[in-house]
Structure 1
């Protein structure tokens, strides 16, 4: 299989620099990293890709069975790293991709040597002693709305997820990204994302890890960032002075500064 074509792999930056893999979240694609790449390209070999079912990936490779679990997305990530023969790469995962990175690093420790998590959440549903931000009923309503009217759901939820109501162009960009995703594939990814529980996986993480949370994020509240930080031995937690769930778009300066400081410390 041509992995580069399947996952629309793009490689840019310094070909002799350490590898940094940028992995997008639900409903997004690699274009969401366009404000991050310039901060990395001079020193690092930057790898971008689209999960199957997102962006310009090869839709014919989609399998509902494979992608009904985060393991399927982790396998995409590992296969991209293998195809490029990456060693000791830093995997930067936004939102659900932070948990994908945890699984990928466990599966291929020789390929992924560090993790940077942007607005991560191991579980979106509240549980005893754990606040994920949503009740089980909230998530079922969210998924039912998405499955019955995906375009309408996108228009409603994108501004909520993005935050920054004073900058409506950001919400419109996320809405357009959602709407560009095949609805049937998006439904599978949504269920996989919002019903996942990766809390136990965090405890097995043994690579250097940066956790970037936003000061105000309705999708991943600060209690979640604190949980992730506490669960991963030796991790570093940075709270960005940012609003919303996509700080690499809404607060790229602060996000890039925290990310490049983490990368520099590893060199």
Structure 2
């Protein structure tokens, strides 16, 4: 299969510059990075894509078996990198994509040379000595509601996830993104996301890593950012002056500044 077509890959920016791969989170697509791309295109080659089941990816490529675990998405990332012959790319992953990036870097260390984790969470469910932000009952209810009425769930949850209630257009955009996703594929991605536990995988990261957290994020509270930073060897933690779970949209200037400073330090 044509990997570029399968994942709706687009490449923009400076063809002679280092490569930055931008990866979206659950219920979204590459359009979530539209305010970040302009900050990168002068100096970097920027790769964008849609996960299978999201955006304008090829729906015929979706199988529940493959995408019932984060390793399926990580394999897609490695295949995209191989199709473009990327070496030492910087993988910028939002939300669950941060953990996909961790797995992809482990699968193909020659392809990914650094990680930027935007609002990451290795586990959403609280555990002994660990606060993920949700109880097991919370996640069960969330997934049950999503299964019962995906569009209704999207309309109710997207503004909560986005935060910034004083800017309702942001919540509306995320709602529209969720609602544009095929419900059956979204249900699989949701279960994969919210039931995942990648805490042990963080210990194996061996590349420069930037962790970006928000001051107020209902999906990934600051205890999670602290855990990721503490667990990933040698990582850098930056707390953005931003609320909600999508700082690349709600606080693009702060997000872009943190990313570009990190990228400059790698050159």
TM over 0.5, yes or no? Answer: yes
Q: How far, CA to CA, are the matches of 2:23 and 2:78 in structure 1? A: 12
Cα shift at 1:126: 0.1
Q: How far, CA to CA, are the matches of 1:89 and 1:164 in structure 2? A: 32
Cα shift at 1:178: 0.2
- The ranges of structure 1 where at least 4 consecutive aligned residues each deviate by more than 3 angstroms after the TM superposition are none
Name the residue aligned to 1:116.
116
Name the residue aligned to 1:198.
198
1:139-154 aligned at under 5 Å gives the runs 139-154=139-154
Q: How far, CA to CA, are the matches of 2:204 and 2:112 in structure 1? A: 14
Name the residue aligned to 1:259.
259
Name the residue aligned to 1:6.
6
Q: How far, CA to CA, are the matches of 1:134 and 1:7 in structure 2? A: 31
SS where residue 262 of structure 1 aligns?
helix
SS where residue 174 of structure 2 aligns?
helix
Scaled by the length of structure 2, the TM-score of the pair is 1.00
SS where residue 114 of structure 2 aligns?
strand
RMSD over aligned CA atoms reads 0.3
Name the residue aligned to 2:50.
50
User: Runs of 5+ in structure 1 lacking a partner?
Assistant: none
1:52-67 aligned at under 5 Å gives the runs 52-67=52-67
SS where residue 65 of structure 1 aligns?
helix
Name the residue aligned to 1:243.
243
Name the residue aligned to 2:97.
97
CA deviations on 1:188-246 (whole Å, 9 max, x unpaired) are 00000000000000000010000000000000000000000000010000000100000
SS where residue 91 of structure 1 aligns?
strand
User: How many residue pairs are counted as aligned between the two chains?
Assistant: 267
Name the residue aligned to 2:86.
86
Q: How far, CA to CA, are the matches of 1:262 and 1:230 in structure 2? A: 18
Scaled by the length of structure 1, the TM-score of the pair is 1.00
User: Runs of 5+ in structure 2 lacking a partner?
Assistant: none
Name the residue aligned to 2:161.
161
Q: How far, CA to CA, are the matches of 1:243 and 1:176 in structure 2? A: 20
SS where residue 64 of structure 2 aligns?
coil
Name the residue aligned to 2:136.
136
Cα shift at 1:65: 0.2
Q: How far, CA to CA, are the matches of 1:16 and 1:77 in structure 2? A: 22
